[in-house]
Structure 1
Amino acid sequence: MIDACNTTESVKKIDVEPFAASYERISSLEKVASKYDLLIVEPDNYSKAAVDTLNTPDNTLLGYISLGEVNKFRWYYPLMEEQGFIGINENWDSPYLNLADSTTRSILLDKVLPNIMTKGYDGLFLDTIDNVAPYTERSHLQPYMLEIIAGIKERYPKAVVVQNAGLFMLDRTHKYIDAVLIEDVATNYNFKRKDYHLRSTESYREKVDRIIKLKQEYDLPFLIVDFAKTYSLKKLARNRLDTLGMPYFISTIELNDISKGISSKQQ
């Protein structure tokens, strides 16, 4: 394993506002990209030529990568399936990866990662880190998750890396990342009922207080993605988020319609 105590070059100061995340195949790619300082996209949707037109000196373009599970439509799903899974995320029908398996980790670092970065992305958006959270049956995999994150920075030291959630690991991962993204701050999505709702005042304040504390402790940019579908809920979310002074983006749970998303500083 990579020694988590090893230091890397200092994190970059990047422009993160306005930002957006979109997993659809954006048709007017160049036009959309020019609107955002930071844009997170689904890398499998674009060729290297498309990335070249999307990536400009004025923006930061990040490719999505899932570290804790794999969608069944991924090109590398059969490779992961051969190694065996350890359960499934029923919300997305995505099997959990056995990160304790060295071959599984190698597929991520030596196959999936280069497949994204050789297209010309500025960096990566690291998802599903919460799959090894302390409250899960996979918490024992945290050292391997850390090894992967450290391995990403070791292989691509100049890449911009944004960590999604996984706050329980921030004391170990902060030296390898450039920003943190948090979902479900002002609102929340219920997968069983398939509906969106505003968080209770108490729950909202608890989340915000934790974010502020960690932001001060690690001196990293924090980005917020909230989920809402109706105009009224989007407005309520904006009223909350506008008071925080942090970059945010509001969209549907699928993040599949950037044209209807709302980004701070772009309203």
Structure 2
Amino acid sequence: MRKLLLLLLAILIAGSMWLLLAQNPVSSSTSIQAKIADVKDYKYYLDKGNAAIGKDMTKLDLVIVEPIEMQQKYIDSAQKSGTLVYGYINAMEADKWNKALYHQLNEEDFYRNKQGEKVYFAEWDSYLMDMTSSHYQELLLTEIQKQIVQKGLDGVFLDTVGNINSYLPQDEQTWQNEAMLSFLQQIKKHNPELSVAQNWGFQTLADYTAPYVDFIMWEDFSYPVVGKDEWSLDMMQKLVHIRDEFGTQVMAISFEDETKSRVLAEKFDFKFFYSPAGSYYNTWQ
């Protein structure tokens, strides 16, 4: 009789736990945030892979790749080993090399300055885009579905989000930031389990996107640049507060003075990657 009662009690407890989990499931966002928080070694690489690179990817905690370039077999192999793989998507710029996407653009998709001119970045052969364009957002959502979701990547890495604060007049930033927020909400609506990350755009993150972003990248987190700069030091503290509130991790990339830059990053518990080639990520380092 006692054994029967214990068995019934165990069944009731198990049933209650199942019901609790069904009503309050552990979200994939929480799970992936925990994995990102534990990241020690990561890389940012935007070219094709090879056998050696593929093997190295399996040893990393996280890697950001260009999904058009990186072969699927290396992505799959890395994920099987536990590596988080994020796919690059250029959010605020359109790269002319990506012809399949570029040829779908309408004139309304390009940002135009107060003189009515497009903004061209010669260094990258790209144009500044207008995130308030619903057509442009739809193109990017389709690109994410094709290059990220269908290839089974863990997340999307949105580059050039910082262009809003860096290149747009103050009176136009609110519109673009609100559009960026709407865009991220659409990503999560269509793919709630997909992790989202962004490059730069610290104020955009603080005021708009933090609830949807699992990590933000800080490029040129180089000690000679940020080590004694008041704005940078203040921003480091702000990012720590954002991380405490939303779980958004910081991926720091240094271009020079690796040792001092790493020490500074570790002081704030930022993830660290050294890129002596600067913001050119076509060499596996």
> What TM-score results when the alignment is normalised by the length of structure 1?
0.78
Report the counterpart of residue 229 of structure 2 in structure 1: 202
**CA 1:141–1:157: 2 relative to 1, 3 Å:** same
Report the counterpart of residue 186 of structure 1 in structure 2: 222
**Matching of residues 134-213 of structure 1 within 5 Å:** 136-137=168-169, 138-139=172-173, 140-170=175-205, 171-187=207-223, 198-199=225-226, 201-203=228-230, 204-213=232-241
Alpha-carbon distance, 1:84 to partner = 4.7
Q: Do 2:177 and 2:208's aligned partners in 1 also have CA atoms closer than 8 Å? A: no
Report the counterpart of residue 247 of structure 2 in structure 1: 219
* CA distance, structure 1, for counterparts of residue 212 and residue 226 of structure 2: 31
Secondary structure of 1:158's aligned partner: coil
Secondary structure of 2:234's aligned partner: helix
Q: Do 1:11 and 1:176's aligned partners in 2 also have CA atoms closer than 8 Å? A: no
Q: Do 2:45 and 2:64's aligned partners in 1 also have CA atoms closer than 8 Å? A: yes
**Matching of residues 54-73 of structure 1 within 5 Å:** 54-73=78-97
| Unpaired stretches in structure 1, ≥5 consecutive residues | 1-8, 188-196, 260-267
Report the counterpart of residue 104 of structure 2 in structure 1: 79
Structure with greater helix share of residues: 2
Q: Do 1:76 and 1:112's aligned partners in 2 also have CA atoms closer than 8 Å? A: no
Over 6 Å off, 4+ runs: none
**CA 1:10–1:174: 2 relative to 1, 3 Å:** farther
Secondary structure of 1:152's aligned partner: helix
**CA 1:158–1:45: 2 relative to 1, 3 Å:** same
Alpha-carbon distance, 1:101 to partner = 1.9
Q: Are residue 132 (structure 1) and residue 164 (structure 2) matched? A: yes
Q: Do 1:69 and 1:128's aligned partners in 2 also have CA atoms closer than 8 Å? A: yes
* CA distance, structure 2, for counterparts of residue 84 and residue 109 of structure 1: 14
* CA distance, structure 1, for counterparts of residue 88 and residue 177 of structure 2: 20
Report the counterpart of residue 255 of structure 1 in structure 2: 281
**CA 1:59–1:84: 2 relative to 1, 3 Å:** closer
Cα RMSD for the two superposed structures: 2.4
* CA distance, structure 2, for counterparts of residue 159 and residue 84 of structure 1: 25
Q: Do 2:63 and 2:86's aligned partners in 1 also have CA atoms closer than 8 Å? A: yes
User: Which shifted more, 55-64 or 44-53?
Assistant: 44-53
Bigger relative contact order, structure 1 or 2, given CA contacts below 8 A and separation 6+?
Answer: 1
**CA 1:132–1:56: 2 relative to 1, 3 Å:** same
Return the match for 1:105 from 101, 121, 137.
Answer: 137
* CA distance, structure 2, for counterparts of residue 80 and residue 209 of structure 1: 39
Alpha-carbon distance, 1:33 to partner = 1.0
Q: Do 2:240 and 2:268's aligned partners in 1 also have CA atoms closer than 8 Å? A: no
